[in-house]
Amino acid sequence: MDALEVGQGASGRNAGFIIDLPHNLDPTEPNAEVNTKVRDLNSFAIQRLKRIQEQQGLDVSWHKAGKYLAAHEEKHFSGLTDFVNTLEAIGEPYEILNEDMLAERLGTHYYKRAVYTSGNILVNPAALAISVASALPSNVTLLENTPVQAIDLTNKIIQTPKARLNADTIVLATNAFTEKFGVSNRITPIFTYASLTRQLNDNEMKNFKGIEQGIEPWGLTSVHPAGTTVRFTSDNRIFIRNTLNYQPHLSSPKTVLDKAKATHRKSYLARFPQLADVPFEYTWGGMICVTMNHEPVFKEHTSGIYVMAAMNGVGVAKGTYLGHYMAEYICGKESPELDFILTHSAPSWIPPDPLRSIGAYIRLSFEERMAKGDI
Ligand SMILES: Cc1cc2nc3c(=O)[nH]c(=O)nc-3n(C[C@H](O)[C@H](O)[C@H](O)COP(=O)(O)OP(=O)(O)OC[C@H]3O[C@@H](n4cnc5c(N)ncnc54)[C@H](O)[C@@H]3O)c2cc1C
């Protein structure tokens, strides 16, 4: 049951990176053994999604484009070094690129240094969500546009505007919205925003530096956690994502969206001054859900009520493998992977509101100030 239609939620409106490696936004992994396991789980998710999109035959713009973890500000180079150390420890190959090499590949001189790894997948996220939903077996009924208004956790009764449903087992996979149901108080819902240009025309493509070499679709995330994510998509558009803000009421006013759009424009012009005339065609926001220690919620809350939430901004891969192992958990199927997930899904304590709100506001403002030119 989903309040929206498939593809309309955050899983359809994200930046479309299916990450293969432990992510800088997701530093739950304090050691090589843990990092290796997370990498293997991400690879499992990628294989699973690849199989589904191949079977279903829908075009999801699947590209094994890899990912650039990049810095504009020299003071953030140390984050790249930390990432390289992680890669060395788990035996993952990588390339370090300087400004000129990056300009050749990305069509912008903005970035001074980056680490490139090749296993990340780029997709059209809404198409991927639709593809996954189309693969549901015939014994599954999907109810879209069906908001759950309340759940009686003791008697396992679900209330929607049109019906009351009894269930033997309920799985809450509502990420940032989970706290509405009173099953987790250690999560923080955060809004982030994205803009997408119209397609570049032939002339504009000529101005796109690097095009002589035939520029390929690429995806880049910032070494700074509050920095900007950028993509050059397979249909020749530029995607920009940045701005993080805490919205405890789980909705974001238009004024904040407009402000985010202005920030996107500034980031875009700094990177692509030669494409200054290309307007954004779309701007939107969506929710991510984070925890203090970046561990997800994955648990049986009370008998028959299961919860998975707090994908910490990397839910395409993480949500895919957690969903798979949640099903195995419910069926009582044991595995080392499930044991690993269960031992690494204990979000740390956060203070209740209003302290949570104040803390989130101060932390996000601080991070955005520190990110400087990497926004
Ligand atoms: C702009 C943006 C860019 C991002 N980029 C990336 C990226 O490149 N890679 C990546 O891995 N992650 C990215 N993320 C994060 C990613 O989108 C999330 O981690 C992921 O969507 C989490 O999946 P989910 O299914 O757990 O939650 P969601 O996608 O948020 O799904 C929760 C669902 O619950 C439904 N729901 C909520 N309340 C109710 C209710 N009461 N009744 C019925 N249904 C309800 C919602 O309608 C929604 O469809 C990004 C997020 C945003 C916003």
Q: What is the dihedral of CA 53, 295, 188, 156, to 10 degrees?
A: 70
User: What angle, rounded to 10 degrees, do the helices at 32-56 and 336-343 form?
Assistant: 120
Q: Is the CB of 104 under 6 A from ligand 1?
A: no
pTM of the prediction?
Answer: 0.95
- Positions in the chain short of pLDDT 70: 24-30, 209-214
User: What three-state secondary structure class fits 238?
Assistant: strand
Q: Is the CB of 115 under 6 A from ligand 1?
A: no
Tokens of residue 147, six digits: 């908001």
313 alpha carbon – ligand 1 mean position (Å):
9
Q: Categorise residue 301: left if φ over 0, alpha if ψ from -120 to 50, beta otherwise.
A: alpha
C-alpha dihedral sign at 204, 205, 209, 212: negative
Whose CA is closest to 266, among 243, 237, 246, 285?
A: 243
Q: Is the CB of 288 under 6 A from ligand 1?
A: yes
Determine if the peptide bond prior to 347 is cis (ω within 30°).
no
Give residue 153's pLDDT.
Answer: 95
Q: Is the CB of 178 under 6 A from ligand 1?
A: no
Whose CA is closest to 188, among 201, 175, 207, 205?
A: 175
- Rounded CA separation 7/132 (Å): 10
Q: What are phi and psi of 254, to 5 degrees?
A: -60, -35
Q: Supply the residue whose CA is at minimum distance from atom 49 of ligand 1.
A: 9
Q: Residues for the chain: how many in total?
A: 375
- Rounded CA separation 216/218 (Å): 6
296 alpha carbon – ligand 1 mean position (Å):
14
